[in-house]
Structure 1
Amino acid sequence: MIRDVSLPDDWEPKVREALADVLPERRNAPLRPLGAGLDNVTLLLDGAIVVRLPKNSDGAESVAKEARLLPELALHWDLGVAIPRFLFTAPNPIGPGSFCGYPLVPGEVLAPEHWHARGLPGLPETARQVAGILDALHAFPAEAAGKLGAPSWDLREDFAGDLAAVRAEVLPRLTPGEGRTLLAVWEGYLGDDANFAYRPTFTHGDVSLDHLLVTGDEITGLIDFGDAEVGDPDYDLSYLWAEAGPDFVRRVQAHRGLPFTVRLARKLDFWALADPALDVLFGLEQRTPELADDALRTLRARLAAAADR
């Protein structure tokens, strides 16, 4: 989550006017910025209600998707942790689509470095909890998820389509050795048919450490289902691989009774590189040089780590 929240000068009266229609009893309650991502800004209302406002069409699409999916998840699937339960959706007063509000999900949002400072990835219970969350998520019927708006994700088609832009825009920003490594990993992933022999599965799509909310040493919430899709279930390990580490993912798989294979490790290595490479492209497209530069630093650090293995 991006902590530096940028809002238009007149955001507060517009948001309060919109809230008067959906939560009139809280129209004048304390309201402050909480955080921001690439696609949404979040506010905290009365210390208890998260208000999320899309900044662009992707954010609007994610709110609409969550409004369809989350009630079904909450009603029929026990993830073992709390998830957002929308109180309302209504026309967005400062951007496209609809904005939403839901009771604050219990727990802290912690950056990866704070997870490690607390020793959370090393705790046996943490891996067990994550394993249970993933199993419960992946049990949600893919067909039902599709009918509720979770798109089918053809990973091979998408990553093959991204490769030309990566060659043109990202490789020139790397050293020749870094570029060769990235290209070899990318082409290796696309060229292995076994990487795409998965059963299409409902996935969260963004199980990063800052979306797993923590109370003490326990995971108590899971947020941000805006990237949910039907695709490769292994993808839900990708951010954990990059942020919590390979040993953590091995322990998660052991709790799930699933094998940890060389092929899985290679897939996760690829996704750990592809994610910041695509963020470089996004930053360049959006003319946000700080985002592109930050993603490039992450990519180069991960390429260096890959070279050391």
Structure 2
Amino acid sequence: MEFAGGWDSVAVLVGRWVERRPRRPDVEAQLRREVRLMPWLAPRLPLAVPVPELVSDDPLVVRHPLVPGEPTAGADPAHGRALGGFLRALHATPTAGAADLGVARADHDGALDRFGAEVVPLLPASRRGAALALLDAARGLPADTVVHGDIGPEHVLADGTGLTGVIDFGDTHLGDPAIDLAWALHGAARPFADAVAESFGVTGEQRERALVWHRLGPWHEVTHAFDTGASPAGGVEGVLDRLSP
């Protein structure tokens, strides 16, 4: 059975294993980094995470035991408290050790430059000022914490007992911890968001930065569509929906 929706990897369930192959050559380095990083990172975290191992070097194939659960609805406060604790543990990871295993600072400025050049021209003229202000607000944010980089309901798993795990560490980098709070604080239900904030100990400044990252989420959908030959229309609609008035 193939899992649907992965941007970077083709993932197939084989028995109790998830086998992953890169969708594009540039993803190979990302998968190899996960093979190095996750055995070191997993014991530091309070929830299950994928710990891939190398199956084949050419073609590249990695596999890990299936992390049980289904995507969270982002509504249960108990799930929110568990996610807040998970993120606190992840963000306490020693940066030097992670860097030794290949975790690097993301090129956010490069991404913002691309957004300005390729996404802003697609927006109505009346919304471009707000779009450019958002890009300016995203520059110069902290980049000194080990972050997941793509925390959303599809990557936070739960069952009837509570949260069971967090998956997809392909975007892990040294960055702003508020990026991991973006969906949890500004896209999930209020009881869930409040529980995350209490468990994590969110500050007012982190909440504001998380809103910047939340508003930037659909911009990545637009550039991903360009990279894969898909239509950017859905991403553009998302950009407009999240822009401040």
Same fold (TM over 0.5): yes
Q: CA deviation at 1:250?
A: 4.2
Q: CA deviation at 1:57?
A: 2.9
Q: 1:180/1:225 Cα in 2 relative to 1: closer, same or farther (>3 Å)?
A: same
CA contact (8 A) 1:36 1:42 kept: no
Q: CA deviation at 1:299?
A: 1.2
For 2:170 and 2:32, the matched residues in 1 are separated by 9
Q: 1:207/1:125 Cα in 2 relative to 1: closer, same or farther (>3 Å)?
A: same
CA contact (8 A) 2:157 2:164 kept: yes
Given candidates 61, 64, 79, the residue that maps to 2:32 is 64
CA contact (8 A) 1:84 1:102 kept: yes
Say yes or no: does 1:151 pair with 2:104. Answer: yes
Give the aligned residue type for 1:103. P
Give the aligned residue type for 1:271. W
Given candidates 26, 50, 53, the residue that maps to 1:84 is 50
Any idea what SS the aligned residue of 1:90 has?
Answer: strand
Q: Which residue of 2 aligns with 1:54?
A: 22
For 1:143 and 1:215, the matched residues in 2 are separated by 34
Given candidates 163, 166, 169, the residue that maps to 1:222 is 166
Q: 1:210/1:138 Cα in 2 relative to 1: closer, same or farther (>3 Å)?
A: same
Percentage identity across aligned positions?
A: 30
Q: Which residue of 1 aligns with 2:196?
A: 252
Q: Which residue of 2 aligns with 1:188?
A: 137
Q: CA deviation at 1:242?
A: 4.4
For 2:122 and 2:108, the matched residues in 1 are separated by 19
Given candidates 97, 120, 125, the residue that maps to 1:176 is 125
For 2:190 and 2:219, the matched residues in 1 are separated by 20
CA contact (8 A) 1:182 1:273 kept: no
Higher relative contact order (CA 8 A, sep 6+): 2
Say yes or no: does 1:239 pair with 2:201. Answer: no
Give the aligned residue type for 2:124. T
Q: Higher mean Cα deviation, 130-139 or 180-189?
A: 180-189
Any idea what SS the aligned residue of 1:102 has?
Answer: strand
Q: Which residue of 2 aligns with 1:132?
A: 85
CA contact (8 A) 1:62 1:225 kept: no
CA contact (8 A) 1:52 1:101 kept: yes
Q: Which residue of 2 aligns with 1:288?
A: 230
- Give 1 or 2: higher helix fraction: 1
Any idea what SS the aligned residue of 1:181 has?
Answer: helix
Structure 2: where are the runs of 5+ without partners?
none
For 2:236 and 2:217, the matched residues in 1 are separated by 10
Q: CA deviation at 1:42?
A: 0.8
Q: Higher mean Cα deviation, 180-189 or 80-89?
A: 80-89
For 1:137 and 1:144, the matched residues in 2 are separated by 13
Give the aligned residue type for 2:179. Y
CA contact (8 A) 1:209 1:243 kept: no
Any idea what SS the aligned residue of 1:37 has?
Answer: coil
Q: CA deviation at 1:62?
A: 2.0
Any idea what SS the aligned residue of 2:70 has?
Answer: coil
> How do residues 1-40 of structure 1 correspond to structure 2 at under 5 angstroms?
32-40=1-9
For 1:54 and 1:242, the matched residues in 2 are separated by 31
Give the aligned residue type for 2:48. A
For 1:279 and 1:140, the matched residues in 2 are separated by 29
Q: CA deviation at 1:226?
A: 1.1
Q: CA deviation at 1:220?
A: 0.2
Q: CA deviation at 1:286?
A: 3.1
For 2:123 and 2:12, the matched residues in 1 are separated by 38
Q: CA deviation at 1:207?
A: 1.4
Q: 1:188/1:88 Cα in 2 relative to 1: closer, same or farther (>3 Å)?
A: closer
For 1:109 and 1:164, the matched residues in 2 are separated by 32
Say yes or no: does 1:299 pair with 2:245. Answer: no
Q: 1:165/1:214 Cα in 2 relative to 1: closer, same or farther (>3 Å)?
A: same
